Each structure stands twice: as structure tokens, then as C-alpha cells.
Structure 1
Amino acid sequence: MGDDELLGLLAQAADAVAEALGRLEDWSAPGKRPGQYGLDLVADAAVLEVLDAAGVGVLSEESGRHRPEAELTVVVDPVDGSTNASRRLPWYATSLCAVDGEGPRAALVVNQATGERYQALRGAGAFRDGQPIQPSGSDGLTGAIVAVSGWPAQPVGWGQFRALGAAALELCAVADGRLDAFVADARHPLAPWDYLGGLLVCAEAGAAVPPWETTVTLEPGARRPVCCAASGLLRGALGRALGLP
């Protein structure tokens, strides 16, 4: 599958989620397990219909691993920030990352509330709605605006923080300079579907990201702390403050 075809597949899957959510009447209905919403299941069904037809492997937050023998696996969070979605707070996304034998190859993160789209291809840069993006370049912790997933156990010393509730979008906001850093410490680790798409967008935009060998996994139960920043200096300062590599 060529790059354009692959990005088209990811876009088709995200569009299917938008269509499914557009038909949804009750956004607050519970799902089948604690912390899940009915909207998560609706979105997952829409994603799987598209990806199943393409014959690729899938790792989904809602339904686990499909076709593990496939050479290409799409890691997907059908609705990242589903609690936000259930309250109709406009900060929730579909995050998709295609992973091959060399690691993350293509990513698409779509804010399903606004339609804003971030995409990246390995070695080809990162874009928001078709325009190239880059991080802020911030290298000082005391002036940084940092998004967090879970409150750190000790003071960190950043300028300001935000807890917005959708890690994929927060990572993309680091990639395009709206935020200076994002961190989920060891007490609040993330799953592959939470971070892989956003991290590829960050890496291709030029942000400082964790080494891929520590973050790429297709094990549904795997969890990792994640620290991404506009510069290596800022990422290093955050890592030291939080005891992260």
C-alpha cells in the first residue's frame, strides 16, 4: 500500500467515525465496561468496518487486536477523550497510527468536534489541515505551558499547565506550537492508542519525543509514561523533574 493510499484509508476510517457520531442521539450512554461510553462502541464499529475491508491489522482500545499476522497494523483510539465527548466538550479525537516493521509509518489525528486534522508520514513532515507545522521552540521550563495527563506527585516548576483530556490532541498541540510540552508520568502511563499517532506527528514536526524503541508496542496491555516537548532542553528538564528517561 502506497503512502497516499494509506493516508486515504486512515482518513476514510476517521470520516466513518464522524458519520457514526453524527447519527448518535445519546452521547452519555454507558458502554459495556467501566469508563466506556456507548459512543466508543459506535465509533469502534465504524473504524473496524473500514479497516477490516482493507485487510490491515488493527489494535483498538475498544476491541483489542485484530489480524495480528498482518504486516501493517493500524493502532486506533476511535474516540480519544470520550468523557469530553460525552459532555460535548469540543476536545476529542479519532487517532490512527499505521505501524509496520520499521515502526510508525503514518498517522492521522482528527478533532471530531472541529474537523481539524493532523497528519504525518515517516520522513515526510507533519501537517495541520494541509499546512506544515512546527513546535514553539520553547526551551525553558519556568515559562512553558505544559499539558498533563494526571497530576504529578511533586511540584515541577512549569509556567502554566493544562489538563485537557485527550492525549492525542495535546501531543498534536505540542507539534504545532500551541502547547510547549505534554507529559504523562509513571503514575499515569498511557496505552499505545493514546500516544502513537500524536507522537509521530510530533516527531515529524521536529519536537523532542521519547525513543521509538521504548514506545512502540502492539501489546494491548502495555502502558508507558510519555514526555514530549518543543525542544530537547525542555524535554530534558521535564524528564529530570519527573524522574523520566
Structure 2
Amino acid sequence: MDDVVLLSVLHEAVDAIVVALRDHDDWGLSGGRDGQYVSDLVADKAVLTVFKRHGIQVLSEESGLVGEGDGSLIAVVDPLDGSTNASRPLPWFATSLCVVDDAGARAAVVHDHPAGVRYDALRGGGARLDGALLPCREPVELADAIVGVNGLPPRNPGWAQYRALGAAALDLCAVADGRLDAYVDYDHEAHGGWDYLGGMLVCQEVGVTVGDAFGRALVTTEHAARRTPVAAVGALFDDLIAARRDIS
């Protein structure tokens, strides 16, 4: 499957979720696993239907590894990232899809549901916001940085301000488009690949470095795997990695 077709499948999958949630009115807990909402399951059902039709295996936060295939292409899926926000309602939640192959993250789409805007990216092909190419990010000094975080920072490592918004995929996209200058996960083993891979590729395609705070590979298709992502440009990335490791 070539890149253009693959990206079109991702957009088709997101469109299916948008339709499924359009008239959805139960934003409460599902009664299944801890922290799972009915909306997570509605979105998951919609996205799985599309990937099954196209013969692509899926690693979903909600349903694990689904579908038949040789593993050469796996769509890593968070049907609704920030579903707690959605249940409140706080306008910061998204669908995040990223197809990985043996070379890493290949194609991604992140859809911001409240804003109705969409990011996409292809490995080596740049990143876009609603079809418009995003420019490469310029470096920012730590003292001037507005940093998105997950969890509670135990102290200020020297940044200007921080924000805890509650949806890693959108937080990373906000780094890519310049609304935030960096992102640091301060929680302990909180994020599966579905949380960050889509936003990671969007960031990478505009020159943002994204890495695990403890040096592990971020691209993983193991449902139980957890990582600690950090994202920034240039020396700011090194500063934040060092600060994050210092409190581990």
C-alpha cells in the first residue's frame, strides 16, 4: 500500500469516528476497565470496521491487537485520546492513528474533535494542519518555553510556564504547530504507544525531537509497553530530558 492510499485510509477511519460520535450522548464510564468510557468503545468500533475492510492490523488501546496480517503494517490507535476531558466536557480530546512498519512510524492522523481540525504526517513527507504544510519549528530557550506536561512536575526546571491539558496526542501536535514549545511526561509509565505515536510523527516532520526520557524506543506494538515521551527542539530537548531523569 503506497503512502497516499495509506493516508487516505487513516482519514477514512477518522471520518468514521467523527460520524459515530456526532449524535453520541453517553459520555459516562463503560463499566469495563478503569478509566474506560462508553465513547472510547463507540469510537473503537468505528475505527476497527474501517481497518478491517482494508486488511490492516490494529493495535488499539481499547481492544488490543486485532486483525490478521503479517505485521508489516500495524495501525496503532487511540480512538479517543483524552476521553476524561470529553466526559466533562473539556475541549481537548482527539483521535490519534499511526501506522508503523519495520522502519518505524510511517503515516499518522490526529483529529482534534472540539476544534474540528486535523493533523497528518508522512515519514519524510512533512506534516500538515488541515492540508496546509506546517513549517519547521525554531529553537526556544528553556527560560522562554511554555511546556505541556502530563502528571505533576515536582519542581520548575527553569521554564517560563507549563500547561497540563490532558491529551498527549494533541499536546504533541501543539508543539508541532507552535502553541507549545515542548512536552514532558512526568507521570510514571503512563503512556502506551497509541497516546503519542501520531503526535510524535507530526512533531518529527517539523524538526521536533521526540524521545523517551529513559532512552527506550518509542515505536512499540506491545499493548503492555509504556513509555515516557519528551518533545522539544534543539538544546531545549536535552535540557528537559536531563531535568526529567533527575527526578526519576
TM-score, normalised via structure 1 length: 0.94
Specify the SS of the correspondent of 1:15: helix
Indicate conservation of the 8 Å contact 1:31/1:41, yes or no. no
In 2, Cα distance between equivalents of 1:78 and 1:213? 25
Residue 19 (str. 1) matches residue 19 (str. 2) = yes
The alpha-carbon deviation at position 236 of structure 1 amounts to 0.7
Q: Match of 1:51, as an amino acid?
A: F
Structure-2 change in CA distance of 1:135 and 1:189 (3 Å): farther
Indicate conservation of the 8 Å contact 1:185/1:226, yes or no. no
Structure-2 change in CA distance of 1:92 and 1:222 (3 Å): same
Partner of 1:146: 147
Structure-2 change in CA distance of 1:47 and 1:31 (3 Å): farther
Partner of 1:179: 180
Specify the SS of the correspondent of 1:165: coil
List structure 1 segments (4+ residues) > 6 angstroms apart after TM superposition. none
Indicate conservation of the 8 Å contact 1:28/1:87, yes or no. no
Indicate conservation of the 8 Å contact 2:216/2:227, yes or no. no
Return 5+ residue gaps in structure 1 as ranges.
none
Specify the SS of the correspondent of 1:24: coil
In 2, Cα distance between equivalents of 1:27 and 1:186? 25
Specify the SS of the correspondent of 1:120: strand
Identity, % of aligned pairs?
52
Q: How many residues align?
A: 244
Indicate conservation of the 8 Å contact 1:135/1:174, yes or no. no
The alpha-carbon deviation at position 152 of structure 1 amounts to 2.2
In 1, Cα distance between equivalents of 2:31 and 2:146? 34
In 1, Cα distance between equivalents of 2:11 and 2:78? 14
Q: In the TM superposition, what are the counterparts of 1:38-77 in structure 2 within 5 Å?
A: 38-66=38-66, 67=68, 69-77=70-78
The alpha-carbon deviation at position 188 of structure 1 amounts to 4.8
In 2, Cα distance between equivalents of 1:34 and 1:162? 25
In 2, Cα distance between equivalents of 1:138 and 1:161? 17
Residues 187-217 of structure 1: CA distance to partner in whole angstroms, max 9, x if unpaired?
A: 2541100010100000001112227971111
Partner of 1:234: 236
Residue 7 (str. 1) matches residue 7 (str. 2) = yes
The alpha-carbon deviation at position 218 of structure 1 amounts to 0.3
TM-score, normalised via structure 2 length: 0.93
Moved more, 162-171 or 208-217: 208-217
In 2, Cα distance between equivalents of 1:189 and 1:142? 27
RMSD value over aligned CA atoms? 1.8
Partner of 2:34: 34
Partner of 1:156: 157
Specify the SS of the correspondent of 1:210: strand
Specify the SS of the correspondent of 2:184: strand
Residues 76-120 of structure 1: CA distance to partner in whole angstroms, max 9, x if unpaired?
A: 000000011111222110000001111110000001122211000
Indicate conservation of the 8 Å contact 1:143/1:159, yes or no. yes
Partner of 1:206: 207
Residue 220 (str. 1) matches residue 184 (str. 2) = no
Indicate conservation of the 8 Å contact 2:120/2:127, yes or no. yes
Moved more, 92-101 or 182-191: 182-191
In 2, Cα distance between equivalents of 1:186 and 1:2? 37
Structure-2 change in CA distance of 1:71 and 1:95 (3 Å): same
Partner of 1:93: 94
